[in-house]
Amino acid sequence: MNKIVSGSETGAKTGAASDLAAVLAASGRQGKRSRWRGRLFILLILIAAAAVAAYFYMGRGQSEVSYATQPAKRGDLTVLVTATGSVQPTEQVDISSELSGTVRDVNVDYNSTVKSGEVLALLDTNKLEADVKSSRAKLNSAKANVVKANADMQSASTSLERLKSLVRSNVSTQQSLDDASYKYDSAVAAKQINEAEVLASEADLQLAEVNLAKAKIISPIDGVILTRSVNPGATVAASLSAPILFTIAGDLKKMELQVDVDEADVGQIAVGQKAKFTVDAYPDRTFPAEIEQIRFASEVVNNVVTYKAVLSVDNADLLLRPGMTATADVTVEAVKDTLMVPNAALRYAPAQAERRGRGIFGIFGPPRQRNNNAGPALKGAERRVWVLRNGRPVPVVIQVGSSDGQFTQVVSGDLKQDDALVIDATARAN
C-alpha cells in the first residue's frame, strides 16, 4: 500500500537537514581555529624561552671576544726535579757495650769532639780485674803441674829402664817391670793433661783480659758526639740487643742529603747532576749539592713509590746539622738562549671563548672540535699555538722541546720572539 506524503512535510525535513549540515560545518571551522591557536601559542612560548636564554647567555646583548696574550721570549730554560729529604752525616756509628755492669766514668758529652781510640766511658772493673788475677793464677798453677809431671815422667822412665836391666839379669820379676811400665805411662798422660790445662788457663786469662779491655767504651772513628744516653752509676745490661750508649757522627764538614725521588721523576736524574737545596733554618740561602748515588731499592712514602737519591754536600761552615729537613731542586737539563712559549699558550683553544660570542646560534649550533693541545707537551711533539694577528688568533704549528712547568722550548716552527700568544679569551658585552 502506497503512502502519500504531503508537500509541507517534505519541506520540513529538508530544512532540518540543512540546519544540521550548517551546524557541523561551523563546528569544524571552530575546531580548526582552536588547533591553530594552540600551535601558535606553543610556538610563541618556545620563541620567548629562546629569547630569555639568549638574553642571559649573551650577557643582555651580543658579546665580542677579548683575548689575553703573552709574548714568546728568548732566555735560559732549566728543567728541575724537586725532591724532599734530610741532611745526614756521611758516617754515623752507634756505640754500645758488650758487657753488663755499672758505669763508673763518662768522659764525653753532647757535641764533644773525639778521636779514634779515645775512651768515652768506663765500666766498673773490680770484678773484671779479679777475674784476670784468678785466670793468671790458674795458668801459673797449670804450668807448675806441667813441671811436676815432667819430673814424674822422668823418674818413671828411669825406674822402668833399671827394672828392664834387672829382669834381663833375673834379679827382678816381670811383675815389677809391668808396674814400672804402668807408672811411666801414667806419668806421660799426666804431663799431657797438665799441658792441656795450661792451654785452657791461657785462654781463660786471654778472655778475662779482653773483658777487662771491653770495660773501656772506645770511639772507633774521629767525629762528634751526637747523642749520649748514659750517666755515671747507670747499670748497663748487655743482651741480644745491646743498648746504644753513644751516637757518633763523622766529619760534619762533609755531609750528605738523602731525598725521596718520585718514581715518575727517577728516570730523569743521574749521578753527577748538580742540585741546590734549602733548609728551614736558612730559608733565604741555597746550598749546592751533587748526586753521588741513586739506590735501586724502592720505598713507599705516603702511598707513593720513591727511590732514595744521595747527594754530597760541603758543610765547611758547619751551618747544616744532622736531621735538617731540606727541599732540593736537581738540574736535569739546562738550555741556554732558546725561544720559549708559556705553557698556557699550549693549553689554549679558541673555541672556549668564540662560542660565547656567536649569539643565539652558539647555543643551538653544532659543537666545535676539541682542543688537541690538551695534556702535557711531550718533548719532540708538534703542538699548535695561536698568535694574535690583526685582532684575530692565527694557528701556528711548532715543535716543542723541554719544559720547566711554566715555559716550553720551541725547537722549530713559524714563531718569532715577541709574537703575541693567546693564552685566554673572554666575552665582553657590547
Q: pLDDT of 204-239, one tens digit each?
A: 999 999 999 999 999 999 999 999 999 999 988 887
- CA dihedral (342, 343, 344, 348) in degrees, to 10, reads 110
Instruction: Specify the range with the lowest mean pLDDT, choosing from 43-57, 274-288, 368-382.
Output: 368-382
Q: What is the pLDDT at residue 187?
A: 80
| Inter-residue contact 108 to 247 (CB < 8 Å) | no
How far is Cα 129 from Cα 131, in angstroms, rounded to an integer? 5
Residue 38 has pLDDT above 80, yes or no: no
Model confidence at 327, pLDDT cuts 50, 70, 90, reads: very high
Model confidence at 428, pLDDT cuts 50, 70, 90, reads: low
The CATH number assigned to the domain with range 92-121+219-250 reads 2.40.50.100
Residue 12 has pLDDT above 50, yes or no: no
Q: Which residues contact 398 (CB under 8 A, 6 or more apart)?
A: 341, 382, 383, 384, 385, 410, 411, 412, 413, 414, 415
Sheet holding 244-249, edge to edge: 92-96, 244-249, 223-228, 113-114
Q: Where are the alpha helices (DSSP H) in 121-262?
A: 126-168, 174-214
Does an H or E element contain 397, and which? strand 392-403
Mean pLDDT of the chain: 82
Q: What are phi and psi of 144, to 5 degrees?
A: -65, -40
Q: What is the pLDDT at residue 70?
A: 92
24-38, 190-204, 253-267: which is most confident: 253-267
Model confidence at 328, pLDDT cuts 50, 70, 90, reads: very high
Give just the sign of the alpha carbon dihedral 178, 179, 184, 185. positive
Q: What is the pLDDT at residue 7?
A: 41
Q: Which residues contact 280 (CB under 8 A, 6 or more apart)?
A: 324, 325
The CATH number assigned to the domain with range 64-75+339-429 reads 2.40.420.20
Burial class (CB in 10 A: 0-12, 13-18, 19+), 371: middle
| Inter-residue contact 191 to 170 (CB < 8 Å) | no
Q: What is the pLDDT at residue 49?
A: 73
How much of the chain, in percent, has pLDDT values that exceed 70? 77
- The neighbour count for residue 283, using CB atoms within 10 Å, is 8
Instruction: Specify the range with the lowest mean pLDDT, choosing from 177-191, 330-344, 413-427.
Output: 177-191
Instruction: Specify the range with the lowest mean pLDDT, choosing from 177-181, 312-316, 380-384, 414-418.
Output: 177-181
Cell triple for 410: 720551541
Q: What is the pLDDT at residue 148?
A: 85
**How many helices and strands in the chain, by DSSP H and E?**
6, 19
| Inter-residue contact 56 to 214 (CB < 8 Å) | no
Sheet holding 101-106, edge to edge: 216-218, 119-123, 101-106, 235-236
Mean pLDDT of 65-78: 91
How much of the chain, in percent, has pLDDT values that exceed 90? 54
Cell triple for 27: 563546528
Q: In the chain, helix, strand, coil percent, each to 5?
A: 35, 40, 25
Q: What is the pLDDT at residue 350?
A: 80
Q: Who wins on pLDDT, 183 or 414?
A: 414
| Inter-residue contact 120 to 104 (CB < 8 Å) | no
Q: What is the DSSP string of 165-200?
A: HHHHTTSS-HHHHHHHHHHHHHHHHHHHHHHHHHHH
Domain ranges within the chain, ordered by starting residue: 1-57, 64-75+339-429, 81-90+251-334, 92-121+219-250, 125-214
Residue 191: closest CA among 139, 145, 141:
145
Say yes or no: do domains 81-90+251-334 and 92-121+219-250 share a fold: no
Q: What is the pLDDT at residue 367?
A: 45
How far is Cα 252 from Cα 223, in angstroms, rounded to an integer? 8
Q: Who wins on pLDDT, 63 or 112?
A: 112
How far is Cα 243 from Cα 235, in angstroms, rounded to an integer? 11
Side-chain-facing half-sphere of 430: CA atoms under 13 Å: 10
Residue 201 Cα to chain centre, angstroms:
56
Q: Which residues contact 30 (CB under 8 A, 6 or more apart)?
A: none
Q: Who wins on pLDDT, 25 or 95?
A: 95
Q: pLDDT tens-digit profile of 141-186?
A: 988 988 888 888 887 787 777 767 776 767 667 777 667 677 878 8
Q: What is the pLDDT at residue 33?
A: 60
The CATH number assigned to the domain with range 81-90+251-334 reads 2.40.30.170
How far is Cα 56 from Cα 382, in angstroms, rounded to an integer? 39
